[in-house]
Amino acid sequence: MTMSIILAVLALSVPVIIRLAKGRGSTPQVEQIRSVDLRAFRNLVDPEEESYLHRNLPPAEFRRIQRERLRAAVEYVKSAAFNAGVLMRFAEAARRSPDPGTAEAAARLIDNAMRLRTYAFQAIPKFYLAMIFPGRRISPARVAESYEQMTRQVVLLGLQYPTGKISAAL
């Protein structure tokens, strides 16, 4: 009975929470975009950098440092995924543009933003797993590539549609 009631409460509360959340921040703002330093992120997940630290640090120290680095990498991925979400809401509006070029650029941006959120969804558990087992290899390169591609698409969209200061904020 308890499990059924928990599921029932979930089914009822999830749409309400989503509706309330949407109502609070229905218009995305450029200020919402979080700063993401791709170079720093790449450095944090670079296997060579990790090997170098492994070779030169005592094991306990390496594990502590590696956890810190992975924690920072998770924050970067979360920020990139968050930015993708904000951009998608801008691009949804542009997708309805009567100009086919703008609509196409917006559709591509949405595709890339979705791809990035998919990668982020897969990468974050891997990072946490690597925090528990330092030394475990992860390959989050696709997140960085996808983020770069998304940034480029924002620029392309901006040439055809007013997207303001978004790319500068990325």
Partner 1 sequence: MLSLSLVWHIIWFSRVTASLVLFLVIIRRQLYKQFPLFAVHSAWIAVAGMAVVALDYAPFVSGYQYFAGVAISSGVEAALAFMIIYQMFMQRLEHYPVVRDLGTFAFRATTVVFLITAVALAWLVPGQAPNQLFAAYSIVQRTVRTLQCGQLVFLFLFYAYFHLSWRSRAFGIALGLGILASTSLAVNAIHSQIASGKTWTPSEYTLESANEFTYLLAVLVWLSYLLAPDQSTTLDSGLPDHDLETWNRELERLLKP
- The reply on whether position 40 binds partner 1 by CB under 8 A is no
CA distance 95 to 24: 23
Report, in Å, the least distance between residue 51 CB and partner 1.
Answer: 25
- Where does this chain touch partner 1 (CB under 8 A) — which range of 54-62, 81-89, 123-131, 133-141? 81-89
Two tokens, residue 51: 């090997």
Of 54, 63, 89, 142, the one binding partner 1 (CB under 8 A) is 89
- Residue the block writes with tokens 């990468």: 123
Report, in Å, the least distance between residue 13 CB and partner 1.
Answer: 9
Of 93, 101, 128, 139, the one binding partner 1 (CB under 8 A) is 93
- The reply on whether position 153 binds partner 1 by CB under 8 A is no
- Residue the block writes with tokens 């009567």: 98
Q: Compute the Cα dihedral for 57, 60, 61, 65 and give only its sign.
A: positive
Size of the site for partner 1 (CB under 8 A): 49
- The reply on whether position 12 binds partner 1 by CB under 8 A is yes
User: Is 142 within 8 Å of 66 (Cβ atoms)?
Assistant: no
CA distance 44 to 69: 6
Complex with partner 1: residue 140 or 158, whichever CB lies closer:
158
User: Is 135 within 8 Å of 84 (Cβ atoms)?
Assistant: no
- The reply on whether position 14 binds partner 1 by CB under 8 A is yes
Say which DSSP state 165 is in.
Answer: T
Query: Which H/E stretch holds residue 169?
Result: helix 166-169
- Where does this chain touch partner 1 (CB under 8 A) — which range of 5-13, 40-48, 69-77, 129-137? 5-13
Torsion, Cα of 89, 31, 165, 100 (10° steps): 10
Q: Note the residues at the interface with partner 1 (CB under 8 A).
A: 1, 3-5, 7-12, 14-16, 18-19, 21-22, 26-28, 30, 85, 88-90, 92-94, 110-111, 113-115, 117-118, 121, 151-152, 155, 158-159, 161-168
